[in-house]
Structures are given as C-alpha cells and as structure tokens.
Structure 1
Amino acid sequence: MSKTVYLFGSAAPPVLEVDRAVEELQRRGWDVCLGLTPTAAGWLGDRIRELEALTGHPVRSAYKRPGAADAWPRADVILFAPATFHSINAWALGLTDRFVVGVVAEAIGKGIPTVAMPCVNAAYAQHTQLDVSVARLRAMQVEVLYGEGGFVPNPPGERRPYPWQLAFDAVDRVPARD
C-alpha cells in the first residue's frame, strides 16, 4: 500500500523545480498529488500536463464543485513547499479563498500531519505578521521548517538553493496512518 503526500506550492521560484520534488518524493515511496496556488499554476501552465503525467493525478489549483467526486486519494501527509508570505499568513488567519490554503487549513481539524517550508526574502521576514503566523501554525501542530534547521530568508533578489531535502526528510518522519 503506497503512502500519499499532497505536495502544495505557491508562487515562489522553487515551485519551478516542483517536477524534481515530485520525482524525489516518488523515489522515497510516496504517491504524489500536486496542488498549486493560482499564480503558481500560471507559472507552470505549459507544464501542467507533463506534471499530471508524472504524478498520475490531476494538478489542482481550484476547489472542486460541491458533490463532485474526489480526484485524489486521501492524504497521509501534506507538504506545503514553497509557501509564500501570503500563503503562510492567509493559512494562519484562516483565509481560505485559495484551494491549497483551504485544504491545509482543514487538515488541521482533520488531524492530517502537515509540513510547511516558507520561501520568503529577508524584507518580507521583517514584517511582524510572519512570525505571528509561523507561531500560530506551530501551535496548531503544523511542522513549519523556518529559521534554524529550516528555510532561512535570503536578501531580496538573491537566490539560494531551496532546502528541499529538509522538507522531504520531515515528510518521511511522519508516522504511517492506519
């Protein structure tokens, strides 16, 4: 029986590497379902069919219609990476107008283990709401890989390698569900 991870990404540069993230999770034995914010889906628009072929599931960026069947199997864990300043704050505040934010918000109440790794620059990191949101999510049992041992913000405009490995390792540590 395979384990299912929902891999969610928002519009930050590491989302352009999401195919490699999918492949690594699959190599580790995960069935991957990919969800994107609308902007991230736009960035990857010409690659969506390729990503669907890679995962074997539809790539989602919008809520399904009421009564429609689920297109994905049940998640054993959710990984939200990269998670932007907007997505982290919206999630912590319960603002669920975006599909991926709504799913992770609901996952808290459903007890689905969730890992998040932000991707914000140092200018955004100076905004006090980010620390409040990270603390709020951690208080709700979300593993937020931010700061020491996680994502460390870089200066605006500077790109450093995104520490995907930290996120993959955190997903692998989640105990199997019955």
Structure 2
Amino acid sequence: MSTPLVLPTLVGDAVRLRGFGPADLPLVREATTDPLIPLITSVPAFGDDDACRAYLARQTDRLTSRAGYAFAVAERGTDLAVGHVYLGLRDLDLGRATVGYWIARSQRGRGLAGDALRTLVRWAVTVPGIDRLELYVEPWNVASARTAVSAGFVREGLLRSWQKVGDERKDMDMYSVVSPQV
C-alpha cells in the first residue's frame, strides 16, 4: 500500500491554504446553495449537514487515495474558510496535474481566489513529477479566466464539448502553467 500524501499549509498574502475541518461546515452549506459549484464539484447540491460532512471527509480521503491535495482557502487573519482549491494528480504519471477552485459567493470580489491560486501554483510547480498544471474555465466565466491569468496561467485554446456540467456538455478554455524546470 502506498503512503498517503501529506497536506502542507501554504500561506499567501491574504489567504492560508490548509486542510478542511469540522469548523468549515458553514462554508460547505453555503456552497450547496450556489447555482454552479455543485454542478462542477463534489459539493452536494442539496446538502444537509450529513452530506456536507461527507464532502469534508472526501477532501481528506483524497490524500489517502493519492488522488490529490484539497485545501480549504481560509482568510489569513481569521482562519475563516472562504473556498476550496485543489491539485488533482490523476495524470501525474504523464507529468500533469489539474487545478480547480471555488470561492463562496459571499466572499467573491476580494481577490481571494487569485491569491489562493497563486499560492497553490508557487508550491505545485515544486512538487516532484509535476511538469504542467492545467485548469479549465467555461468561456463565459470572465472572472475565473482573469483569476487564472493573474496566477500565471496562459490560455491555450478552446476544448469543444470537453466536460459535462449538470446535464449538458460544455466547452472549456484550457489554461496551463509549465513548471520552470521543464
């Protein structure tokens, strides 16, 4: 059996990326009410507290299964969780990792997603075996595209009908960061 991954704590300008805990239940509850987050993540769509606690447990399980690193995005000063950022390792054998993120609707517009993403990227490009980070954004999501670019991602092109979102196949713009050692 392989060893579980170890989640570091990463500190940005305004955020701290850390593991999820029971105190983060209100964040997950809020995320269940967002029209998009449950469609593109494993946040439950109609989450009662048990479903939200199961979501929190799944984030830790990603380390055990070596699927990736799931971080709570917390305000640096208060440690209040405001979102989630993830580094997926499904394609690590190919030198690639995927990045995803979301910020609770009540916390958007404060630059926290960009700070979290920049903080994650600074660390991720030092992880052995990662030569390339990939991120997918729906073309209409200008704010998310701006966030990706602010973290050093470069748009590479449109992937037609790339991902199922809800019941529909959606186009995605692909963004990437290539590790400096490549």
TM-score (norm. length: structure 2): 0.35
Specify which structure has the higher proportion of helix: 1
**Greater strand percent: which structure?**
2
How does the TM-score come out when normalised to structure 1?
0.36
